[in-house]
Amino acid sequence: MSALLEVRGLEVGIGGLPILRGVDMEVRPGEILGVVGETGAGKSMTARSVLDLLPAAATVDFASCTFAGQDFIPPKARQEARGHRIGFVPQRPRGSLNPVFRVGNQLSATLRRLRDMGRREAKDEALGLLRSVRITDPERVYRSFPHELSGGMCQRVCIAIALAGEPDLIIADEPTTGLDVTIQAEILRLLGELITERNAAGMLITHDLGVVADVCDRVAVMYAGRVVNLGTTTEIYREALHPYANRLVSIATSLDSGGTPREIPGRVPNPGDRLAACAFAPRCFRAGPGCFDAEPPRIDRGGQIAFCHHPVNAGEVPR
Amino acid sequence: MLSYLIRRVAALIPILIGVTLLAFIVSHALPGDPARQYAGINASDAQVEAIRERLGLDRSLPQQYCIYMIGDTCAGGSGKGGLLRGDLGDSIRTGFSVAEDVGARLPATLELVAAGMLFALVVALPLGVWAAVRKGKLLDKFCRFISTLGVAVPDFWLAMILLLVFFIVLQWLPGPVGRLPIGATLPDGPTGLYLVDTLVAGDWATFWSAVKHLLLPMVAIGFPAVAPILRLTRNATLSVLNSDYIAFGRAAGLRGAPLYLKYVLRNALPGAVTMTGLIAGYMIGGAVLVERVFSWPGVGQYGYNSLINTDYPAIQAYVLLSAVTYTVAFLIVDLVQSVIDPRVRLK
């Protein structure tokens, strides 16, 4: 199946520091891809590169980038896709809505801009969108300012804005950070349903593996500016090839079952730290001498892709 | 909203009473004897004393203040005059009532300050946003230069340089003769603002003449205000540009002029509005020197002349006027603020 969004060899640097070091990933039509990893792994940077929303100081370089067959390397192509072809759900919903305008105005202004609607039509459509993100009293929310709404409500409005241009892909950048735990699951389920309902594809960035298991079809695990493991959610959960991904999953599952997780020693390298050939090698329980010297090979096994010298074999790691 | 306004205005009363007391003490502490000045150089001591008595300057200071505030009831009179009855007293220098004197000159100053403020805002706001958008580029550096210049250059000096360039050398604009050419028929209108009155009357020739006379004083008084507003707008715009809602707005396809003019400027405005209020009050003071350079017949000049002639009632009225301007400017700032930003609640 040909990919909707395909990113190859994405490199991003800020002030000479490498942030992304050759990211490869693709989102297929109709699927939801989960992108997981610790803070600083480059998840948000990857998403922002696709929308050309990086800070001015960043340098971006793709080996190739296509969206529905269109060349996405020119920044203009990526800018024009914003809202129209790619919807974006932000990390901090309340801060992401303009504080001085009513949320209804922001939503209908988006509709008028993206879909050339008239005032009247845009308002009706906006109310419909608010209803579709399961807001029970859209009229009241339409008239509210962001500071009058809860974080969860703001995120629903942001999702409505992301859907306004009827995009083919929705990128959600840690959409539940800062929300109450009780509504996190609700928002994610909503997002998943909406993407499926609209025959769109999704890219869900999170550091919560539990979330991924519920919503995503495939998972990309990132570490220190690279995708180290990519596969279907089922495969990654059953037995991730990459030791890092494997450990993440076992931590998540042992937390879920109330056990004590075995932590990963050490910490994530900062951008600019001297990295071994495999950035995870210093923290890896399977690392051998080769890991520090040679780039890890690409392993393609059982529906997974991993970059590792010593991929985890089935049944090898005790849970 | 209405009750808020009433409470705000009520809160002004104690402040303004304090200002009258301060203005009274400071003006009476000035060196100089108004009675002697009024009597003239050749007057005898007895004549001076007679004048002193007539002006009430022979009474004790508390009694004088009481008369100034409450009227002649303090001196056993029948209840006339006094600030609380709205009487600012009579000018020692001109002999007219101070209220009349100030009323006749206020429109000239208002026109000057309003034009100066408008000039400052029209230059500083767009430039501030633009400088932030092009941070570090040539335009940003040019704006920093303008800001530094604005702080460093005194308005009266700028006034003289402007006259030198545009009146003497280039001869594009009229010289320092006030609001209209000498001998011109003054427009007779309800507001006293020449630009408004001539527009209403459809008198284009006089309107154009008034505009030309206003240009240089406007730039002289407005330019020093460009710097703080420009800098504030630039910095506010920078922080707005880094905000989450701008990033999200961009992600939702917002670009170009709508992004900057609607989304960014509206959020960057509050700081500039506060600064504008401060400056509007300051400009009334700045008007003194600019008005002198351009022979502008405004309250600034009146205040200056009152001051050097130790004209107590006039000085007090001038100080009071400045205080009222400041406080009214702040009130307007708060009202505007609540309109710009819905999170500001007037309580």
Q: How far apart are the first and last CA of chain B?
A: 9
Q: CA–CA separation, A111 vs A219, rounded Å? A: 32
Computed over every residue of chain A, the mean pLDDT equals 89
Contact A191/A215 with Cβ under 8 angstroms?
A: yes
Exposed/middle/buried for residue B172 (C-beta within 10 Å: 0-12, 13-18, 19+): exposed
Euclidean distance between CA atoms B319 and B296, whole angstroms? 19
Q: What is the pTM of this model?
A: 0.80
The SS3 call for residue B303 is helix
Return the SS3 of B97.
Answer: strand
CATH 1.10.8.620 for the B106-340 domain, yes or no: no
Chain B environment of A82 (Cβ under 8 Å): 250-253
Rg (CA), chain B: 24
Which of A140-144, A250-254, A271-275 is least confident? A271-275
Mean pLDDT calculated for residue range A44-70: 91
Q: What backbone torsions phi and psi does residue B181 show, to the nearest 5 degrees?
A: -55, 150
Torsions phi, psi of A89, nearest 5?
-110, 120
* Whole-angstrom Cα Rg for chain A: 20
pLDDT band at A319 (very low <50, low <70, confident <90, very high): very low
Q: Where are the domains of chain B?
A: 2-85, 106-340
B209, amino acid identity = S
Question: Would you call A95 and B255 a contact, using CB atoms and an 8 Å cutoff?
Answer: no
pLDDT reported for residue A78? 93
Residues 166 through 225 of chain A touching chain B, CB cutoff 8 Å: none
Say which amino acid occupies B22. Answer: L
Q: Which residue is it, tokens 């849970």? A: A319
Shortest Cα–Cα distance, B98 to chain A (Å):
45
Residues on chain B touching A158 (C-beta within 8 angstroms)? 248
pLDDT, position A39: 84
CA angle A37, A42, A45 (to 5 degrees): 135
Q: Which residues of A touch B258 (CB under 8 A)?
A: 113
Q: From A163, which residue of chain B is nearest by alpha-carbon distance?
A: B252
pLDDT surpasses 80 at A306: yes
Question: Which of B242, B248, B339, B340 has the highest number of chain A CBs within 10 A, making it the mutation to test binding with A?
Answer: B248
Please classify residue B120 by burial: count the beta carbons closer than 10 Å to its beta carbon, then call 0-12 exposed, 13-18 middle and 19+ buried.
buried
CA B208, CA B204: separation in Å to the nearest integer?
Answer: 6
Q: How confident is the model at residue A317 (pLDDT cuts 50, 70, 90)?
A: low
Q: Return phi, psi of residue A71, to 5°.
A: -70, 125
CB contact under 8 A, B258 and A113: yes
ipTM, interface predicted TM-score of the complex = 0.89
Residues A21-27 have a mean pLDDT of 91
In order along its 347 residues, chain B shows pLDDT tens digits of 788 888 888 888 888 889 989 988 888 888 878 888 777 778 888 888 888 888 888 888 888 888 888 887 777 777 777 888 778 888 888 888 888 999 889 999 999 999 999 999 999 998 998 899 888 888 889 888 888 888 888 888 888 899 899 988 998 888 888 888 887 778 877 888 888 888 888 888 888 888 999 999 999 999 988 999 999 999 999 999 989 999 999 999 888 888 888 888 889 888 888 888 888 888 887 788 889 989 899 899 999 988 888 888 888 899 888 888 888 888 888 888 888 888 877 66
pLDDT at residue A258, rounded to an integer: 77
- Burial letters A203-219, b for 16+ CB under 10 A, else e: bbbbbbbebbbebbbbb
Test B250 with A95 for CB contact under 8 angstroms. Answer: no
Specify the 3-state DSSP secondary structure of B297.
coil
Q: Is residue A96's pLDDT more than 90?
A: yes
| Predicted local confidence at residue B250, as pLDDT | 92
A95/B contact by beta carbon, under 8 A: yes
Chain A closest CA to B333's CA: distance in Å? 17
Among A154, A172, A173, which Cα is nearest to A99's? A154
Rounded Cα gap, residues B41 and B38, in angstroms:
9
Query: What separation in angstroms does the CA of B219 have from each of A102, A221, A292, B166?
Result: 38, 62, 68, 12
Q: Do B252 and A53 touch (CB under 8 A)?
A: no
Partner-chain contact A95 B243, CB within 8 Å = yes
